[in-house]
Structure 1
């Protein structure tokens, strides 16, 4: 633990940001998994779940949690699976 006041504050803010980033990234992964499962089972909610997953991917990319091209690639692959299933 640092002794300097500003460094102590920095450690606290970094921990808070890390906790927030973990929750956002986890929600993104969950949304993608739900969308994939719905696409495989041909559920009616697949389109809605895809939209939420795409939104979460875009937001994670915007925040810098996932690279923007990685997010685009995941969205593209999800869309490809959805179109093939229909």
Structure 2
């Protein structure tokens, strides 16, 4: 209820969540270039790949969980 109330008062949702999206992407930039030695373009390219890998891992875990539920808690299949 509180979240819906807050969102009903926000005019620009994209602007409101911009800082959170930036922090999320910064996480991957630090992961791929912890010492800051890459060019900004290369760092961004690698960070995008790391972000995609993150979501692929989440999708795989989700698929395994769904498969395990279908088999009623049976052993999960190897990837």
Same fold by TM (over 0.5)?
no
Q: Greater RCO between the two (CA within 8 Å, min separation 6)?
A: 1
TM-score (ref. length: structure 1): 0.41
In terms of fraction of residues, the more helix-rich structure is: 1
